[in-house]
């Protein structure tokens, strides 16, 4: 079996922690130090006969995805880069075509990268049951046993039961209103649609070709034009862009006669809001989930997340309070789904907080924008052992680099120099330059002071790059 992990989401309802360039699946929201992507991959590793996973992710997240997989010892994964998000049906098709190269009848376990499953043993048992059913040609989905009349999920209505422990799928239901959700719960036989599937590559592609041939053809053409780029698989962008933007439910599962559903009761959550995250988080005796430097008094049922400052709360109930280095968000817990409306406003105002944190991760390390003003910006930069930034130049800014930790190998124009702690260099506008950490064991840290008429990240002309980004600002 091959796990297929879909990692293309943004998680805007978990802003300001989740952002376009650092979405929720890459964050350790539930297990300290382990991201949701890593949890998802590790969840599949305990299943019998599991092979290296296929990850389908946004191109802009590729280096973070690759590094996180390496951190948990998964170094044989195939990482397929989506040039643009076209929803789950095309994404799964890419993975199915990739798997079918070796074996068209390979069983695929398709999972979103940003869900929580608290009971790993129950999940494994359900998946192993689904694998046997999928091997016969059926398309299996998991129906999450509902614990409440939830209006934020679609539902699956089960039909007749079979000897293999599954049910036929009677139909799929859109997100209901409160009264309808309560009726589903009272009647029984209705399950939350968790978006997890098990089927063979050939079974999925056959049904996709039958019911959504335009998606099939676009994905097939995109994979025919694939090429390797470092540890990643790049597909034909033009071909993929021809695919409709459509979910696997609409494209296949609601139309096929081969859909089966297996009930799953394993502590599942899609962590789709701050309220949902509060539900699955550890809480104190007052019902508070507290992360970071937090002090409370007479505070109950509240989720408080502090990234960089002391956050205190007095006499409040049922709130979400989130502090990051560049933003603070406060909401009633029951209204936390509407955080996406703030994200829409940030987009309309072209605010950087919609996509980036103050600390931005790059394949060579990270930078933290610690201060800025009229015609200047100050960054703290850390470079991994042995890593190098691209050979580049800028049209509109000069830079002054001061080494504060480690040793820097600097290309400044035609000269290559070594700088140690407390030493510095100045790079004039238009000068070709590069920065490398020559140490194989210690990180390099510098302070960079930029000055000029324009300080945007798109004022970078990459001449040479170790990460395949020459000519790009990404």
Average pLDDT over residues 285-291: 97
The pLDDT confidence band at residue 5, using thresholds 50, 70 and 90, is very high
Say whether both 288 and 210 belong to one domain. Answer: no
Q: Would strands 319-324 and 303-306 be described as parallel, antiparallel, or unpaired? A: parallel
Q: Do the domain assignments include residue 473?
A: no
Q: Among 202, 234, 268, where does a domain finish?
A: 268
Q: What is the pLDDT of residues 440-463, one digit of tens each?
A: 999 999 999 999 999 988 899 999
Q: What is the pLDDT of residues 355-370, one digit of tens each?
A: 999 998 899 999 999 9
Which of 23-32, 200-209, 341-350, 413-422 shows the lowest per-residue confidence on average (mean pLDDT)? 23-32
Q: What is the pLDDT of residue 467?
A: 87
Say whether both 373 and 247 belong to one domain. Answer: no
The pLDDT confidence band at residue 44, using thresholds 50, 70 and 90, is very high
d(CA 168, CA 149): 22
d(CA 372, CA 157): 55
Query: Helix, strand or coil for residue 22?
Result: strand
DSSP 335-360: GGGGHHHHHHHHHHTT-GGGT--SEE
Q: What is the pLDDT of residue 48?
A: 81
Q: What is the pLDDT of residues 403-420, one digit of tens each?
A: 999 999 999 999 999 999
Q: Do the domain assignments include residue 6?
A: yes
Tally of domains within the chain: 3
Average pLDDT over residues 253-268: 96
Average pLDDT over residues 416-430: 97
Q: Among 253, 268, 283, where does a domain finish?
A: 268
Say whether both 185 and 164 belong to one domain. Answer: yes
Q: What is the pLDDT of residue 115?
A: 95
Q: Are 260 and 141 in contact (CB under 8 A)?
A: yes
Chain position carrying tokens 């990404």: 474
Say whether both 45 and 180 belong to one domain. Answer: yes
Which of 45-54, 386-395, 400-409 shows the lowest per-residue confidence on average (mean pLDDT)? 45-54
Q: Are 149 and 178 in contact (CB under 8 A)?
A: yes
Q: What is the pLDDT of residue 264?
A: 96
Q: What is the pLDDT of residue 473?
A: 57
d(CA 469, CA 407): 25
Q: What is the pLDDT of residues 109-148, one digit of tens each?
A: 999 999 999 999 999 999 999 999 999 999 999 999 999 9
Q: How far is CA 6 from CA 86, 88, 92, 159, 186, in A?
A: 12, 8, 8, 28, 33
Say whether both 120 and 260 belong to one domain. Answer: yes
Q: Do the domain assignments include residue 353?
A: no
Q: What are phi and psi of 212, to 5 degrees?
A: -140, 65
Q: How far is CA 47 from CA 29, 50, 332, 375, in A?
A: 24, 6, 40, 55
Say whether both 262 and 284 belong to one domain. Answer: no
Q: Are 139 and 131 in contact (CB under 8 A)?
A: no
Q: Are 389 and 436 in contact (CB under 8 A)?
A: yes
Q: Do the domain assignments include residue 35?
A: yes
Q: Which of 117-121, 270-274, 294-298, 456-460 has maximum average pLDDT?
A: 294-298
Arithmetic mean of pLDDT over the chain: 94
Say whether both 68 and 193 belong to one domain. Answer: yes
Say whether both 334 and 197 belong to one domain. Answer: no
Say whether both 367 and 386 belong to one domain. Answer: yes
Q: Residue 4: which H helix or E strand, with range?
A: strand 2-7
The pLDDT confidence band at residue 9, using thresholds 50, 70 and 90, is confident
Q: What is the domain extent for residue 297?
A: 274-342
Q: Do the domain assignments include residue 348?
A: no
Q: Quick check: 163 pLDDT over 90?
A: no
Average pLDDT over residues 179-204: 96
- Could you tell me the CATH number of the domain that includes residue 46? 3.90.550.10
Q: What is the pTM of this model?
A: 0.91
Average pLDDT over residues 240-246: 95
Q: Are 51 and 44 in contact (CB under 8 A)?
A: no
Q: Among 287, 311, 342, where does a domain finish?
A: 342
Say whether both 315 and 373 belong to one domain. Answer: no
Q: What is the pLDDT of residue 471?
A: 67
Q: What is the pLDDT of residues 58-112, one digit of tens each?
A: 988 999 999 999 999 998 999 999 999 899 999 999 999 999 999 999 999 999 9
Q: Do the domain assignments include residue 15?
A: yes
Average pLDDT over residues 179-185: 95
The pLDDT confidence band at residue 230, using thresholds 50, 70 and 90, is confident
Say whether both 228 and 316 belong to one domain. Answer: no
Q: How far is CA 431 from CA 401, 445, 463, in A?
A: 14, 22, 12
With pLDDT > 70 as the criterion, what percentage of the chain qualifies? 99
Say whether both 154 and 74 belong to one domain. Answer: yes
Q: Do the domain assignments include residue 295?
A: yes
Q: Quick check: 319 pLDDT over 70?
A: yes
Q: Do the domain assignments include residue 113?
A: yes
Q: Quick check: 474 pLDDT over 60?
A: no
């Amino acid at each position: 079996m091959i796990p297929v992990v879909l990692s293309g989401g943004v998680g805007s309802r978990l802003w300001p922690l989740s952002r376009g360039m650092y979405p929720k699946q890459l964050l350790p929201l539930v297990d300290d130090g382990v991201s949701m992507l890593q949890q998802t991959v590790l969840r599949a590793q305990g299943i019998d006969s599991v092979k290296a996973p296929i990850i389908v992710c946004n191109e802009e997240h590729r280096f973070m995805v690759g590094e996180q997989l390496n951190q948990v010892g998964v170094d044989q994964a195939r990482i397929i880069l989506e040039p643009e998000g076209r929803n789950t049906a095309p994404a799964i098709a890419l993975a199915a075509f990739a798997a079918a190269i070796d074996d068209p009848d390979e069983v695929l376990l398709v999972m979103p990268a940003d869900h929580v499953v608290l009971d790993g043993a129950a999940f494994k048992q359900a998946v192993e049951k689904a694998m046997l059913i999928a091997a016969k040609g059926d398309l299996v989905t998991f129906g999450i046993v509902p614990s409440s009349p939830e209006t934020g999920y679609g539902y699956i209505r089960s039909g007749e039961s079979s000897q293999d422990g599954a049910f036929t799928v009677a139909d799929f239901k859109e997100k209901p209103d409160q009264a309808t959700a309560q009726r589903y719960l009272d009647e029984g036989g209705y399950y939350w649609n968790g978006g997890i599937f098990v089927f063979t590559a050939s079974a999925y592609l056959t049904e996709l070709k039958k019911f959504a041939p335009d998606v099939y053809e676009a994905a097939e053409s995109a994979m025919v034009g694939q090429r390797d780029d470092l540890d990643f698989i790049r597909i034909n962008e033009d071909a993929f862009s021809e695919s409709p933007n459509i979910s696997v439910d609409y494209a296949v599962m609601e139309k096929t006669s081969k859909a089966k559903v297996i009930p799953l009761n394993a502590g599942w959550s899609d962590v789709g809001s701050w309220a949902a995250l509060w539900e699955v988080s550890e809480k104190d005796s007052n019902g508070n989930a507290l992360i970071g430097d937090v002090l409370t008094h007479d505070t109950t049922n509240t989720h408080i997340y502090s990234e960089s400052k002391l956050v205190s709360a007095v006499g409040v109930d049922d709130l979400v309070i989130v502090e990051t280095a560049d933003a603070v968000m406060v909401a009633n817990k029951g209204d936390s789904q509407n955080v996406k409306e703030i994200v829409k406003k940030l987009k309309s105002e072209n605010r950087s907080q919609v996509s980036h944190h103050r600390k931005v991760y790059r394949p060579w390390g990270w930078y933290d924008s610690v201060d800025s003003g009229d015609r200047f910006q100050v960054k703290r930069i850390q470079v991994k052992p042995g890593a190098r930034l691209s050979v580049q130049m800028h049209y509109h800014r000069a830079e002054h680099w001061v080494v504060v930790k480690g040793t820097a190998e600097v290309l400044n124009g035609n000269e290559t120099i070594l700088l140690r702690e407390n030493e510095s260099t100045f790079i004039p506008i238009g000068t070709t330059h590069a920065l490398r950490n020559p140490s194989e064991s210690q990180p390099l840290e510098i302070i960079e002071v930029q000055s000029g008429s324009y300080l945007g990240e798109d004022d970078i002309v990459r001449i040479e790059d170790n990460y395949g980004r020459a000519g790009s600002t990404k």
